[in-house]
Structure 1
Amino acid sequence: MSISALKAALPPYARDLELNLDSVLTGDLLTEQQLWGTVLACAMTTRSALVLRAVAAEADDHLKPEVAETAKAVASRMAIHNVYFRAKHLIGDEAYQHLPARLRRQVTSTPGVPMVDSELWSVAVSAITGCGVCLESHERSLHGAGVSREVVDEVLRAAAVVHALAVTLDTEAALG
């Protein structure tokens, strides 16, 4: 299934979602690699098999295999970090902030994937999972690297739209 097929499967009440998906996929603030890495990492984060299959198939046309693997590695790593750091924050006991995470991180960079791209993907994934600690940390890294708020906002928009796509299509499938 393609992204076009996903759009065609959207119910009439989701017209705004279709328009926003078109807008995200044709935006000009992100490079092609940043956009499709964001969309792929977000699709993985939604856990929607339908959306992930369609996005992964289309991302193959826009990303080198090693870049796609890095976007998936970011989503996988953030699945760990978002739960861990959000939980430590939500507990509200400052003592937890001083305990070492002791979480392994072997995939730190990939040739051809700038740190900025993986940080953008981390922000998008963290937006979907709702980890404020990770959002703040990765946004600070991006700001320090000279990335504009408009670019960060664009990946937040992409994350919101991909998440909504998964929620809507999975809901329709469940009700169908």
Structure 2
Amino acid sequence: MTVARLRELLPDYARDLRLNLGSVTSQSNLSAQQLWGTVLAAAIASRGRTVLVELEPEALDHLSAEAATAARTAAALMAMNNVYYRSLHLLEDEEYSRLRAGLRMNALANPGVDKVDVELWSLAVSAVNGCGRCLTAHEHELRGRGVAREVIQDAIRVASVVHAVAVTVEALETSSGTNRVAAAD
């Protein structure tokens, strides 16, 4: 189960995704831990079973147990936060933003890895989930910690490609292309 296997599953019309998946997982301003934590968190956030099955083992080859747990934690908590804060943003009544959220996020206080890494993973998941408020908050935190824009951009690039691959593979599995994906097994 690898990036290479997932690239093989992509149809010809998604050739750019095939190339981009290879590129974002091999050429990056991210450290190996940042890259593969981003891959794992984005794969979880993208909700594509096949993509997660294919990418998780390779990600785990590059991550410590603590980093893998932190990436999963970022994906889990951002799934909650992105819905909550995106909803506050979309509601016309600004009073909701003044109310206490009351949502626990204690795991982010001591994630077991560098906070920059967790912020990058949270940013990537927020990009997949389309939460502008969370994207802004994580980008601001990262920039405040001295992280270069190119590093932040790479995390977003990884998330966008992983998500696009998940959407494409899921469409294949759902449509008449199901046999093509199953046959590749």
Q: Give the distance between the partners of 1:142 and 1:125, measured in 2 at CA.
A: 15
The superposition leaves residues 32-81 of structure 1 with CA deviations (integer Å, 9 ceiling, x where unpaired) of 00000000000000111111111111112100112101100000000000
Contact 2:41 2:74 (C-alpha < 8 Å) held by counterparts: yes
Percent identity, aligned pairs only, is: 50
Task: Using the TM superposition, give the Cα deviation of residue 22 of structure 1 relative to its aligned residue in structure 2, in angstroms.
Answer: 1.0
- Partner residue in 2 for 1:30: 30
Task: Using the TM superposition, give the Cα deviation of residue 106 of structure 1 relative to its aligned residue in structure 2, in angstroms.
Answer: 2.2
Q: Give the distance between the partners of 1:27 and 1:93, measured in 2 at CA.
A: 44
* Secondary structure in structure 2 of the residue aligned to 1:107: helix
Question: Which 4+ residue blocks in structure 1 deviate beyond 4 angstroms?
Answer: none
Q: Give the distance between the partners of 2:128 and 2:105, measured in 1 at CA.
A: 21
* 1:13-162 mapped onto 2 (5 Å cutoff): 13-108=13-108, 109-111=110-112, 113-162=113-162
| 1:174 equivalenced with 2:174 (yes/no) | yes
The count of residues paired between Structure 1 and Structure 2 equals 175
Paired amino acid for 1:110 = P
Q: Give the distance between the partners of 2:56 and 2:20, measured in 1 at CA.
A: 19
Coordinate RMSD, CA, aligned: 0.9
Paired amino acid for 1:105 = M
Paired amino acid for 1:42 = A
Q: Give the distance between the partners of 1:110 and 1:84, measured in 2 at CA.
A: 21
TM-score by length of 2: 0.92
Q: Give the distance between the partners of 1:101 and 1:115, measured in 2 at CA.
A: 22
Task: Using the TM superposition, give the Cα deviation of residue 165 of structure 1 relative to its aligned residue in structure 2, in angstroms.
Answer: 0.5
Task: Using the TM superposition, give the Cα deviation of residue 14 of structure 1 relative to its aligned residue in structure 2, in angstroms.
Answer: 0.7
Q: Give the distance between the partners of 1:156 and 1:92, measured in 2 at CA.
A: 28
